[in-house]
C-alpha cells in the first residue's frame, strides 16, 4: 500500500526556518514526481512545490520562491521542504503528495506549521 | 498562477444529482486535459476522485463523473448520498510544471 507520512511541523517565529520531511513507502519512490500542497486554517488548497524524479527540476508557487526549497533523497525514499524567512501567512497544514501526471494521489496526513510570535 | 473559480457552496437532496463547476483560462483548464477533483472531509487529507478530466480511480463510485468544455470543468455527483457531504476541490495543470487549485466548494446533502 502506498503510504506518505509527513513530519517536522511546529511553532516558529516570523523570520524563522523549518524543515518538513515526508517518508514514502509502498511504491518505487524514484520513479515519481512529488509535490507539497498547503492549506491555511479554514481555507482552500494551495499548491506549493513540485520536484521531478531525480531532483534536477524544482518548481514553486510565486509566493514562496526564494524562501522555500524542495529536495528529495531517493535512497531514503524521502521528500523534504526547507522553509526559510517564514511569514505569518505561511501558517498551514502542509501535505506531501505523489504527483502522477498532475494527479495527486495519495496524500499524507499533513503536518501543521504555525508561524507566530 | 491565479486560482480556479468554484462556487463556494452547492447542495442537493439524497438521490438527486448536483454539478460543481470549475472555471479557469486557456492557460490551464482550456489548454490541458489534466483536470482533477478531490474530496476532503474536515480535518482529513484530500482524496482523488477524478483525474484527466473524466477518469475515476479504482474504488471511486461511478456516481462521480467529470467533464470539461472550453475553460470550464465540472464534477457531477449523481444519486447523492449523505456521505458525499464534503468539500470538493478542482485542480489543473497550468503549464511550466505548475499546478493550480480551485477555491473549493462545500457540498451539502439536504
Sheet (strand A78-83) strand order = A3-7, A18-25, A78-83, A68-73
Is there a contact between B84 and B107 (Cβ–Cβ < 8 Å)?
A: yes
Series of mean pLDDT values for 10-residue runs along chain A (117 residues) = 97 98 97 98 97 97 97 98 98 98 97 97
Is there a contact between A22 and A87 (Cβ–Cβ < 8 Å)?
A: no
Is there a contact between A50 and A35 (Cβ–Cβ < 8 Å)?
A: yes
Q: What is the pLDDT of residue B2?
A: 83
Q: How far apart are CA A72 and CA A54, in angstroms?
A: 8
Instruction: Please judge whether A95 and B101 are an interchain contact, meaning their C-beta atoms are less than 8 angstroms apart.
Output: no
Set of chain B residues whose Cβ sits within 8 Å of the Cβ of A45: 38, 40, 46, 89, 91, 101, 104
Q: What is the pLDDT of residue B10?
A: 98
- For the ranges A47-51, A53-57, B60-64, B93-97, the lowest mean pLDDT is seen at B93-97
Instruction: Please judge whether A110 and B45 are an interchain contact, meaning their C-beta atoms are less than 8 angstroms apart.
Output: yes
Q: How far apart are CA B49 and CA A28, in angstroms?
A: 23
CA angle A44, A50, A54 (to 5 degrees): 160
Q: How far apart are CA B22 and CA B68, in angstroms?
A: 9
pLDDT tens-place string over residues A75-89: 999 999 999 999 999
Query: What are the beta bridge partners of residue A104?
Result: A99
Q: Tell me how close the Cα of A37 comes to any Cα of chain B, in angstroms.
A: 10
Amino acid at each position: 500500500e502506498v503510504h506518505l507520512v509527513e513530519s517536522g511541523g511546529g511553532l516558529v517565529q516570523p523570520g524563522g526556518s523549518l524543515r518538513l520531511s515526508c517518508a514514502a513507502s509502498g511504491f518505487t519512490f524514484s520513479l515519481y514526481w512529488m509535490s507539497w500542497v498547503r492549506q491555511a486554517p479554514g481555507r482552500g488548497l494551495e499548491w506549493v512545490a513540485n520536484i521531478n524524479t531525480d531532483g534536477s527540476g524544482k518548481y514553486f508557487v510565486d509566493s514562496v520562491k526564494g524562501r522555500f526549497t524542495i529536495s528529495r533523497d531517493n535512497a531514503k525514499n524521502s521528500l523534504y521542504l526547507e522553509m526559510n524567512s517564514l511569514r505569518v501567512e505561511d501558517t498551514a497544514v502542509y501535505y506531501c503528495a505523489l504527483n502522477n501526471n498532475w494527479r495527486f494521489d495519495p496524500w499524507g496526513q499533513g503536518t501543521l506549521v504555525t508561524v507566530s510570535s | 498562477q491565479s486560482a480556479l473559480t468554484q462556487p463556494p457552496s452547492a447542495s442537493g437532496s439524497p438521490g438527486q444529482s448536483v454539478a460543481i463547476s470549475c472555471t479557469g483560462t486557456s492557460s490551464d483548464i482550456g489548454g490541458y486535459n489534466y483536470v482533477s477533483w478531490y474530496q476532503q472531509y474536515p480535518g482529513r487529507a484530500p482524496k482523488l476522485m477524478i483525474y484527466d478530466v473524466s477518469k475515476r480511480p479504482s474504488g471511486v463510485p461511478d456516481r462521480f463523473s467529470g467533464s470539461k468544455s472550453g475553460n470550464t470543468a465540472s464534477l457531477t455527483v449523481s444519486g447523492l448520498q449523505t456521505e458525499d457531504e464534503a468539500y470538493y476541490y478542482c485542480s489543473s495543470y497550468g503549464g511550466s510544471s505548475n499546478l493550480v487549485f480551485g477555491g473549493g466548494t462545500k457540498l451539502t446533502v439536504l
